[in-house]
Amino acid sequence: MTVTVTVYHNPKCSTSRKALELLQEKGITPTVVEYLKTGWDAATLDRLAKSTGKGFAGMLRMREDEAKQLAADGASDDVIRAAMIANPVLVERPIVETAKGARIGRPLETVLEIL
């Protein structure tokens, strides 16, 4: 059985690189999406917010000042989604997606739940 795996990846992030290594150790060659280059679209963000179980606020990369401000303001999903599309770095990384769902790889081991 072949498992289709997509990794939303930032190659400059050590955790993101470790997620790729973990998948490769499991014999998986994932589709890699460098979202800082490709950007995000609303449909993908909607799907990931639902399938991670974290919602939009849970996908914010809280190391970013803009993300902290959005959280502090109690921003709506629509506002957060628009901010993520405008500034892709606001999305936490890495996100690994399979037919079983999606997980933010923090901690890294959580991606094993959907393989």
Q: Are 113 and 21 in contact (CB under 8 A)?
A: no
Task: Please state, in angstroms and as integers, the Cα–Cα distance from residue 11 to each residue in 15, 63, 75, 111, following that order.
Answer: 9, 17, 29, 17
Whether 48 is catalytic is no
Q: How many whole angstroms separate alpha carbon 62 and alpha carbon 86? A: 16
Give the number of other Cβ atoms within 10 Å of residue 73's Cβ: 10
Q: How many whole angstroms separate alpha carbon 100 and alpha carbon 97? A: 8
From 2, 3, 10, 13, active-site residue: 13
Residues forming the active site: 13
